[in-house]
Amino acid sequence: MPDNRTSVPFDPFFGGFVLETLTIGMYGEARNAIREYIQNGFDSVQRAIDELKILPAGGGLIEIELAADRKSLTIRDNGAGLSVKQAATILTRVGASGKSHRHNAGFRGIGRLAGIVFSNTVTFTTKAKGEREQTTVVFKAKAMRAAMAPGKGSTKSVQDLMRESVDAYRTPHKDAQKHFFEVSLDGFTDPPDECLSATEMYDFVSQVAPVPYPADFPYRVQLAAAAGEAGIPIEEVRITIKDGEGRPKPVTKRYTDEYDFESGTVALNNCEIYRSPTHRWWAWVGKKDESGAYTDTRVSGLRVRVRNIQIDGTAIVRDVFRDHAKSHVRFQDYFLGEIFVEPSALVPNARRDGFEEDAAWKRVRIELAKVVKELGKEAYAVSKQGQLSVEAQKTNLQTSKKELKALQRTNFADADRAIKLSKNITTYQSRIAKGVLGADMETAAELQAIGSALSDIKLEALSHVGGAAAAVDREKVQQEARDEFLQEILAVLEEALSPDCFAKAQEALLAEFGEE
């Protein structure tokens, strides 16, 4: 059959909305622009150390400075910098980079534009060692946002938009030996809190950046040894934050020797090391004897890191917990620790809030699921043991006494409140019954005494509820007690059975004993 096709020439057109998607639309939180600039600075420092040999190991420095008037922010590193020949070309590329994801933290050539989301201008200034000129590239971010607004974003090509919105020039520099890269964000519009508060900046950088552990973190030596054995180092760079005219403050991670959690403060009693059977990652997990979630969100949860830069927050591992058992999602906050991924093993996605969904990531998720299963069992056991302890029941008794006194002051005018107290006591009594099983005689006697005191409180509360209401309450309390016990059974079955078997068991149990 003859080919009667005639080629039709065309000229691809990429409108301003493409640039808008890659900048304003790329990052879920504006503060991630800060992470992108730190990431690029880290790459520059590592190049200066490993490739160019112009910095000694540990000689890298990234300086973050917040202006006193909070109208600008500067991030400067003493890394390799860019040569006069390359700087303007590299800095005006979008979505093109010579970096490799196997060796660099940033590699897509998009992150450098992240600051245009909330700044009026984004200015890059850089210089390479041995040159007597520096290059400055200025992005007129406010004008760019206006040109990318709905109704305008498709009228200009990306190339024309960039030509109109970017200035690049060279200026002399007196010190040929200097090498650096600096980004200045000037004139803010709805900036992230981190640009306005040195404290917020410190909290954010201490979590996401490859900074050292503090001196009082007791497991530093153990983690360094584990990293060496795994062949996945904990890379670090010095970062300081300067607030206006104040002194620069070195940033460290927030891990320490004691942490806030639900019941007060707690110290770690162990740091357990986990290793990937395929050598794609290794992890450390801090352990504590007491049950409960950490309340300091700067450290709670297991965090995934590539080249010691955090990928997202705690959502990645939380999802792994959820995939294993929905009832175990809360256990992500019962632990703290870090998972260090071998850089060549996985590819972070463009937003850096996860990984590309390829075969390698699926394999790693399977490996992490085994760790999560073990941690879930451990947390569940500690949690249940905590609920059954004498200390926990003493707390429940005191809470019930306070609630009874509150009811007495109002002459039990609120029947619903009395019924709720009765229900809570029924739950406590169920736990006491479980705690007595296997307990020594002294502990069992303490628990039974608490149980008797709780019974007296419940009896008084119900005695002031009308006869019909009391009858309804007793039936309601009994049903709710059955429901609670049923949920405990379901949690055990969810862990032990396959998803299909669990679904069938859940349906049958709820149909027979539950109200849902």
Q: Are the C-beta atoms of 118 and 72 separated by less than 8 Å?
A: no
Instruction: State residue 104's pLDDT score.
Output: 44
Local confidence pLDDT in tens for the 516 residues of the chain? 557 887 776 555 455 555 656 555 555 578 889 999 999 999 999 999 999 999 999 999 999 999 999 999 999 999 999 999 999 999 988 754 454 444 444 444 466 788 888 999 999 999 999 999 999 999 998 988 888 776 665 567 778 888 888 999 999 999 999 999 999 999 999 999 999 999 999 999 999 999 999 999 999 999 999 999 999 999 999 999 999 999 999 999 999 989 998 778 889 989 999 999 999 999 999 998 777 889 999 999 999 999 999 998 889 999 998 887 777 788 899 999 999 999 999 988 877 778 888 999 999 999 999 999 889 888 777 666 666 667 778 888 898 999 989 988 888 888 888 888 888 888 778 777 766 665 668 777 888 888 889 888 988 888 887 654 444 445 555 565 566 666 666 666 766 667 677 777 777 776 666 544
Q: Are the C-beta atoms of 233 and 307 separated by less than 8 Å?
A: no
Residues of the chain with CATH 3.30.230: 259-385
Instruction: State residue 481's pLDDT score.
Output: 57
**CATH superfamily name and code, 16-196:** Histidine kinase-like ATPase, C-terminal domain (3.30.565.10)
Cα distances (angstroms) measured from residue 9 to each of 6, 158, 379, 481: 10, 21, 64, 74
Strand order across the 61-66 sheet = 166-172, 133-139, 119-127, 180-188, 72-77, 61-66, 238-243, 249-250
Tokens 């296997």, residue located: 438
Instruction: State residue 359's pLDDT score.
Output: 92
Q: How far is CA 183 from the centre of its chain?
A: 25
Q: d(Cα 391, Cα 369) in Å, to the nearest integer?
A: 33
pTM score of the predicted model: 0.73
Instruction: State residue 514's pLDDT score.
Output: 57
Kindly report the CATH number that applies to the domain delimited by 259-385.
3.30.230
Residues of the chain with CATH 3.30.565.10: 16-196
- Rounded to a whole number of angstroms, the CA Rg of the chain reads 30
Q: Are the C-beta atoms of 226 and 282 separated by less than 8 Å?
A: yes
Instruction: State residue 427's pLDDT score.
Output: 76
Q: In this structure, is the dihedral angle defined by the CA atoms of residues 305, 306, 307 and 312, taken in order, positive or negative?
A: negative
